[in-house]
Chains A and B, each alone.
Chain A
């Protein structure tokens, strides 16, 4: 993240969210990287007071690391570009939480984001969380989707006595899903500082001091990693999971049918129902509050995992029936509970150099449990079903009527398991291999090959870019090159079945764009052009890096454009933000101004939406 445009983007994001003071401090730190207070003051030309307050607030938001060395006692400050970048993903994360866990959970989440990190006891005191839905009204205007009418009303009547009861279950649910983690001291220092500290600590141990050479290195390395893991670990899920399932995600087997039919829709409308369900669940269950001393923050790594699963699901939905996608969703959800981060290594792995990393294996029976019992599994895999029923008929003639009949509502458990297995094997087919089957000691389990799929997503994204830029001929050439490796022009032409002219044109334009390149292999020492073989090749890693850079640049340009557009309408926007105008726009603004406001809002939404889309690309290229 040290590149120019990434740095620019981060500074712009900080400015967009927190204002110019933060942006100034942040960009200075990004430029000089690690500064003590006097140096920072010198470079930033800010007053003492501004700088101190700014730094404190930025540390609160995890935007900067600080480190006080033991020897000198000087505190150094360092930017945290990762945290700054995640500001752009906040909208996506909140929408996801709202989708999964309901509106109140999203409000809690956004409050935690607002506070940077927060003690539970502090959260309890906040008015917008206590009087829950009432306050949320002011923030989220579209309140129609709330749905859970009677419950909310009940709470409004009872007032502030019962509302905190909603906060704790929500927090617990968020924590048990892993979306929240405990804040540890070490999280405020950069990874390198922590690693150095841990290494020093390990080396000073008496038993390590006696070691020498390779053994010493190994011990130090292992010890450092273990220590880092221990120090940085803020996992809150452990105590809160029961039976490997987080709270709130539990689906009661005997719940009402309306609930289930709502889930069949698999839409956003049923979110209210879902919320209703889990809150009921928690209300009825143990209402022990979370420890009030715990300090929590948002766990972006885990949310990346969740968003990646969402992305896989989109892929599945595109290529399979909705029932299959739903089965897949259940599998992914089960896996998500046990996946902490998207990948083990911090840096982006090179193409072909990363080992396969399987997800945890989920037993077929667990998936069956998870899948909605009302889901029509048989409808979408017709031909398989006939085969299956034929095979079944031999074994169990008594079932005959039920199986041949159209209704599968009453299908018995083993056949349902079999059907789910069928759905999952459908997903395991090429080209995507969304799942893979494992038989562990006689037990059928299903896993997801994360690295393979992440690579697949990356390639799809690159191919999409290439097709949009150079057309489908180029896409074919790229695919041939990717599959076959380096090829000379003649061979490439033979495989891709394209006329020379088209091929050369497209190769030349792609070369100037940096997507393919030419390697010279001289046949003699003189390197004469006539006696040289020219091989075309396509290097996904290189393209990925340059696309990533371009994406950062495009995002920062969008931000700059947004800023410029805002400055053009500055006077007007300041008027709409006036304390008397805000909230009653209809009353104070003229019709022309209202249209202008609407236009501005949609313009801003379009630009922000574009940034969100670009962020999706960055996520695919960098984070997944």
Chain B
């Protein structure tokens, strides 16, 4: 107390501003909020028998859904998770190894199983008909279209790598499909597959560039520049000179 020469009986500095409020009993505005305020946790009432029936019905229906043909999970086999990265990283070395009792384990579908029941085709959009009924053969006018989705129909689930390749093919096919004139699209696909690839990108610059006809391309700004100027630096302005004119 007396270490800093403080007089006895004096309050510590700032003590006159107490947190306690005179009347009302309410908290002062400037007071710190209590760390562990009393908190009344509401508890749910126990279920009535009627509610229990409802819950049981919900659960049994859900179980039927889960056992049914449509329940499907996304696992590492999705195209978004590449084999090398996610699937490997998230592998569980303790439980992931195949064991004998694994044969009793519930099998998770990664794809809804459509076969095994009848469907009313007219309720579905045309582009899904092939998926629903693999034997379905549409008329000749749409031949090219059908051939392309025919491939995924034959595939099996476990052939992952081929899956992805096929997907790539299917994707291109899909893009080709987008255009109205199919033949033209097909030709273009053959000639210039890269351009097709670009088409699904939302923010592609290439197309805009072509349309606008300007020669400025922000995406190529560094790419083009780096190479050229790098060469310039070493090769003392050999081929770079020609390019310099355009910039």
Q: Spell out A's residues near B (CB within 8 Å).
A: 16-22, 24, 37-38, 41-42, 45-50, 52-57, 59-61, 66, 68, 74-75, 88, 90-92, 94-95, 98, 106, 110, 113-115, 117, 119, 121-122, 139-140, 142, 183, 185, 188, 295, 571, 574, 577-581, 604-606, 608-610, 612-613
Contact = CB atoms under 8 A, between A and B. Distances in A.
A185 B122 CA distance: 7
A54 B55 CA distance: 27
Contacts of B54: 91-92, 94-95, 609, 612
Given A47-B79, A49-B155, A183-B123, 7 more contacts: A38-B174, A38-B200, A41-B174, A49-B167, A119-B118, A183-B120, A612-B54
A50 B78 contact: yes
A55 B117 contact: no
B65 A18 contact: yes
Contacts of B122: 185
A581 B128 CA distance: 38
B182 to A, nearest CB: 11
A548 B145 CA distance: 47
A90 B104 contact: no
B78 A612 contact: no
Contacts of B80: 45-46
A57 B55 contact: no
A419 B59 CA distance: 44
A191 B130 CA distance: 27
Interface string B124-135: 111110011000
B44 A19 contact: no
Nearest to B170: A48
Interface of B: 44, 46-47, 50-66, 68-74, 78-80, 95, 101, 104-106, 109-112, 114, 117-120, 122-128, 131-132, 149, 152, 155, 163-164, 166-167, 170-171, 174-175, 178, 200, 202
B126 A75 contact: yes
Closest 6 CB pairs of A and B: A91-B58, A94-B57, A45-B80, A57-B112, A52-B131, A578-B104
A61 B123 CA distance: 11
5 contacts: A20-B74, A21-B111, A37-B174, A38-B200, A57-B112
A75 B127 contact: yes
A91 B62 CA distance: 9
Contact of A38 (B62, B79, B175): B175
Given A18-B70, A56-B131, A579 B64 contact: no
A608 B106 contact: no
Contacts of A121: 118
A571 B95 contact: yes
Given A21-B73, A37-B127, A571-B95, A609 B51 contact: yes
B79 A581 contact: no
A117 B118 CA distance: 11
A92 B58 CA distance: 8
Contacts of A61: 70
Contacts of A571: 95
B120 A295 contact: yes
B125 to A, nearest CB: 4
Given A48-B171, A49-B155, A94-B61, A605 B55 contact: yes
Given A21-B110, A75-B127, A42 B202 contact: yes
Most A Cβ at <10 Å: residue of B109, B117, B202: B117
Most B Cβ at <10 Å: residue of A17, A41, A68: A17
Contacts of A16: 62
A604 B55 CA distance: 9
